[in-house]
Structure 1
Amino acid sequence: MAAEDQPLGTLEELPQSYRDELRKLNLVPLWPSLRSLLPPKVPARQTSPTYWPYQSIKPLLMQAGDLTPIEKAERRVLVLANPGHGLEKMQASSAIYLGMQLLLPGEWAPSHRHTPNAVRMVVEGEGAWTTVDGERCQMSRGDLILTPTGLWHEHGHDGSDPVIWLDVLDLPLAHYLEVSYHLNGDRQNTKQSQGNRAYARAGVVPTPVFGRSGRRYPMLRYPWTDARAALQSLAEDQPDLEAVQVTYINPETGEDAENILGFHALMLRPGQTLTLPARSPAAVYHAIEGAARVAAGGQGFDLRSADTCCIPGYCATTLANLSGSEPAFLFVADESPLHRKLGVYEIRADEQPSMPSQS
C-alpha cells in the first residue's frame, strides 16, 4: 500500500482525557487532519465552477439603484459570490473578489483608498470616470482601469445613462492576511498627464533621461480599443497561433499590471475551440464581445455579452467560440502572479479538458 493511501489515526481514537489536555494548551494533533491539509496529487479546493449571467444581474442592480441612494451605499455593488466558499464570504475564489457596480448619472462615489488591489472592467455605459491618484480615467466598455493598493480613487458620472462595471479585487487574500482596511479622503484635484497616452504604442516608451516616472503604476487606464486592436493584429500576423491572448502589464517594468492578480484579454477566432491545460491558479472569464462556451470540472457555461464565470485551479478548460462568423473577446483575471511569487505556479499539460453539457 502506498504511503499516501495508508490510513491515519483519528481524533476519536485518542482518549478524551488526552484530548482535553491538548485543548487546554491550545494544541491540536496533526495526523487526523493531515490528509485534508496535504491531500495526495491535487489540492483540496472550495472554489467551484460558477456562472453569473449579466441579464439576470442587471435588473437587480438597477433595482438597487432605486432602493439605496449612493450616499447610503458609498459603493453600490452586487457581489458575485462563489457558493463553494459560502455566499457570506463574498469571494469568487480563494484570492479573487468580484462585484458588479452601478453608478447613475450625476452620482459621485467618494474618494477613498484601501489595501486590497482593485481593477474595473467597464461593462456598459458612457460618461463615467474614475480618478486614480489624480489621473482622471474615462470609462468606456471594455476599458480596464487600475486602482492599486494605497492609491486614492473616486468615481463620478457626467453622462445621461447608467454605467456598470465589474470590480476585481484581491480582497479575500488581504482579509485572510488581516491587512484589509480603508481610509476616506477628499475629492481629488486632477492632473493633465495620462499614462495610456504616454505608453500608447507597443515597443516604444518614454525615455528616462532623468530617471523613470517615479510612479509605481505609470499606466492606470488600458483602453479596450487598444487591447482589441492588439489582439486582431496578433491574430492576423500569426494565423497559426493557437491562443490569441495579451496580458496587461506595467509598461516600464514589463511585470504584471498589479502584483497579486493577473489580467488578460483573449480572442477566439470564429468557430475556434481552444483547449487549455490544467493550471494551479483559479481563473475568471468575462465576455466583452461575442459569445463563448467555457467548460471545466464537468460543467459548461455559455457566456454572452457581460456574463462572467469562475473556474477553479487545477482544472483543464475548454473555450469555444459560439459564432462561426465573428470573433469572441474575453477578459481573463487569474491568480497567476500570486502563485509565481509563492513558487507554487504549476501547469499540468497531460490533463485534457472535456466538453460537458450545459449546466
Structure 2
Amino acid sequence: MLQLGTLDDLPSDYRDALTRQHLVPLWPSLRKVLPPGKPIPQTRPAYWSYEALRPLLMQAGELTPMEKAERRVLVLANPGHGLEKMQASAAIYLGMQLLLPGEWAPAHRHTPNAVRMIVEGEGAYTTVDGEKCLMQRGDLILTPTGLWHEHGHDGSEPVVWLDVLDLPLVHYLETSYVQEGPPQKVSQQGQERAYRSGGVVPAPLFVRSRQPYPMLRYPWSEVRQSLLGLAQSQPAGEAVQLAYINPESGSDCQNILGYSALMLRPGESLRLPARSPAAVLHLIEGSSSVETAQAQFTLAEADTCCVPGYSAVQLRNRSTSQPAFFFIADESPLHRKLGLYEVRGED
C-alpha cells in the first residue's frame, strides 16, 4: 500500500498559502474519506432503555408545557456522532415524544420524512393531510415530507411514541425547514381499511395512485397477525419479516428510510448479515438480545438500539414460550437509490 504524504511534509509557508486561497491538499486526508476495503462509520452500537428514559420524559411533561415545546421530545442521540448533532446514524434521527391528556401539538409541515411508532397509551391521534390516524401501541403512522400534520389527545393517560426521521440527511443537504399552519380539518379517517387484504387495492388503480402516500397508518394488530401467519410457513432459521410498503406500487413506504417488522419465535436465534446501511431496532413485544462484533444489548419491551452499517447482527429471543416482535428502521432505500447497497457474508 502506498505511504501517503502528511501535512508535516509540506513547508509551513506553502500550507499558509493554501489556506489563504481556501485550498486543502487531498493526499494527507485521503484515507480518512476513502479507507481501504471497508468504511469506518461514526455510528456506534447504542442502546436506550425505555425504563430509564420514561421517567425523564414524564418529567419533561411537568417542566415544559406544550406551548413552550411545540413537540415535547427527548432525542436518542448516538455518541459516535456527538450528542449535539442529535442523530442515531448518518441518516436516522430518533426521538421519544410525549403527549399528555388534553394536549394538542399544533399543525406544521417539514421537509424531512417522519414516522411514528406508538410505544404506549391510547386516546391520541395524528391528523395527516386531513386524515385522522388513531394511535395504538405498535401502530406505524407516516408523516411524509411536505404534508401537514398535528397531534391531539382525547384520552386519560400519557401517550408516547418513537419518532423516526431522515432529518440528518435532509439537514446535511441544507434542505431542512418547517412551516407552521392552522388546525387541520378532518376529511377522512381510517383510510388504511381500504388496503387490509393483501394483493388487492381499490379500483380503478390510476385514481388511487395520484396519492404518493395512499396509506398513512399501519395498524399493529394486523401486522402482528400477518407475522404469526408467516411464521407458520417460513422455514426455521429464515427471517419472519414484513416490510412496510406503499400498497399500490409495492415500493418502500417512504423515499429515504425503510421500515419493517420482524418476529422471533420462542427461543429462536437469527443472524442478520452485514449490510451497508445502519439500522435501528425497537422491541415492540417480548425480550431479546442484540449482538454485534462491538457490543451486546439486552432489550425489554419498548427498548431501542442502533447498529452501524457493515456489521452482522445476532438476534435472540430470550423467552422460550413467547414470541418477540421488532420494529426496524434502516437506510436501505437511500443506499439502493445511490447504488451503495451491499451485503457481506462476514464482518
The answer to whether the superposition gives a TM-score over 0.5 is yes
* Cα distance, 1:160–1:11 mapped onto 2, change above 3 Å: same
* Equivalent of residue 14 in structure 1, options 10, 31, 43: 10
Deviation per residue, 1:104-123 (Å, 9 max, x gap): 00000000000000000000
* Letter in structure 2 aligned against 1:343: G
Distance in 1 (alpha carbons) for counterparts of 2:11 and 2:205: 73
* Equivalent of residue 321 in structure 1, options 317, 323, 331: 317
2:82 is aligned with 1:89: no
Distance in 2 (alpha carbons) for counterparts of 1:346 and 1:115: 28
2:163 is aligned with 1:167: yes
Match for residue 345 of structure 1? 341
Match for residue 255 of structure 1? 251
Distance in 1 (alpha carbons) for counterparts of 2:103 and 2:316: 39
* Cα distance, 1:159–1:193 mapped onto 2, change above 3 Å: closer
Match for residue 107 of structure 2? 111
- 1:193 CA displacement: 4.8
Distance in 2 (alpha carbons) for counterparts of 1:158 and 1:122: 16
Which stretches of structure 1, 4 residues or more, deviate above 6 A after TM superposition? none
* Cα distance, 1:198–1:39 mapped onto 2, change above 3 Å: same
2:173 is aligned with 1:177: yes
* Letter in structure 1 aligned against 2:335: H
* Cα distance, 1:117–1:209 mapped onto 2, change above 3 Å: closer
2:314 is aligned with 1:283: no
- TM-score when scaled to structure 1? 0.95
Distance in 1 (alpha carbons) for counterparts of 2:10 and 2:113: 45
Distance in 1 (alpha carbons) for counterparts of 2:346 and 2:104: 50
Distance in 1 (alpha carbons) for counterparts of 2:138 and 2:120: 8
Distance in 1 (alpha carbons) for counterparts of 2:287 and 2:42: 28
* Equivalent of residue 312 in structure 1, options 308, 313, 316: 308
Q: Is the 8 A contact 1:49 1:297 kept in 2?
A: no
Match for residue 242 of structure 1? 238
- TM-score when scaled to structure 2? 0.98
* Equivalent of residue 131 in structure 1, options 112, 127, 133: 127
Q: Is the 8 A contact 2:237 2:270 kept in 1?
A: no
* Cα distance, 1:210–1:227 mapped onto 2, change above 3 Å: closer
Distance in 1 (alpha carbons) for counterparts of 2:257 and 2:292: 21
- 1:7 CA displacement: 1.5
* Letter in structure 2 aligned against 1:307: D
Match for residue 190 of structure 2? 194
Question: Any idea what SS the aligned residue of 1:234 has?
Answer: helix
- Structure 2: tracts of 5 or more residues without a match: none
Match for residue 59 of structure 1? 55
In the comparison of the two structures, how many residue pairs are matched?
347
Match for residue 122 of structure 1? 118
CA RMSD of aligned residues (A): 1.0
Match for residue 203 of structure 1? 199
Question: Any idea what SS the aligned residue of 1:131 has?
Answer: strand
- 1:6 CA displacement: 2.2
* Letter in structure 2 aligned against 1:224: W
Distance in 2 (alpha carbons) for counterparts of 1:78 and 1:315: 27
- 1:334 CA displacement: 0.2
Distance in 1 (alpha carbons) for counterparts of 2:234 and 2:11: 67
* Letter in structure 1 aligned against 2:332: S
* Cα distance, 1:282–1:236 mapped onto 2, change above 3 Å: same
Deviation per residue, 1:55-112 (Å, 9 max, x gap): 0010000000000000100100000000000000000000000000000000000000
Match for residue 25 of structure 1? 21
